[in-house]
């Protein structure tokens, strides 16, 4: 009886640790909303100052868009995230019996 309870507690503890590690990884990897908002505001203000100059030929040198690059990066990131969560959930299913 006690060993069954101990095994169940170990399984719950392992699942908790895995979820905690995933949560910490998400917090560490995410950018704070305020810094992103500030950067967007600064870029917008710079754009507005440059675009109102008469005869302006605005060229955004800081943000060069490479066609398809964002899509490729997004697909790789999506695949990595799916693989991590798939592995984690399969592991949790295997542990929980």
Instruction: Flag whether 50 is in a domain.
Output: yes
Domain around 37: 33-64
71 or 60, which is more confident?
71
Residue 65 scores a pLDDT above 60 = no
pLDDT band at residue 89, thresholds of 50, 70 and 90? Answer: confident
Instruction: Flag whether 76 is in a domain.
Output: no
Residue 60 scores a pLDDT above 70 = no
28-44 pLDDT, tens digit each: 776 665 676 777 788 78
Instruction: Flag whether 88 is in a domain.
Output: no
Instruction: Flag whether 74 is in a domain.
Output: no
| Across 47-61, average pLDDT | 76
Instruction: Flag whether 57 is in a domain.
Output: yes
Instruction: Flag whether 17 is in a domain.
Output: no
Instruction: Flag whether 38 is in a domain.
Output: yes
Total number of domains constituting the chain: 1
66 or 94, which is more confident?
94
The rounded mean pLDDT for the chain is 78
Share of the chain above pLDDT 90, in %: 1
DSSP 53-97: STT-----SSSPPPTTHHHHHHHHHHHHHHHHHHHHHHHHHHHH-
- Would you report the helix, strand and coil content of the chain in percent, each value rounded to 5? 75, 0, 25
Place of tokens 């908790």: 16
Instruction: Flag whether 49 is in a domain.
Output: yes
């Amino acid at each position: 009886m006690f060993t069954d309870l101990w095994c169940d507690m170990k399984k719950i503890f392992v699942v908790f640790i895995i979820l905690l590690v995933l949560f910490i990884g998400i917090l560490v990897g995410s950018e704070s909303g305020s810094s992103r908002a500030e950067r967007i505001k600064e870029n917008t203000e710079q754009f507005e100052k440059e675009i109102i100059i008469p005869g302006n030929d605005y060229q955004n040198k800081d943000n060069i868009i490479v066609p398809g690059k964002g899509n490729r990066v997004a697909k790789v990131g999506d695949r990595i995230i799916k693989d991590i969560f798939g592995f984690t959930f399969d592991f949790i299913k295997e542990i929980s019996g």
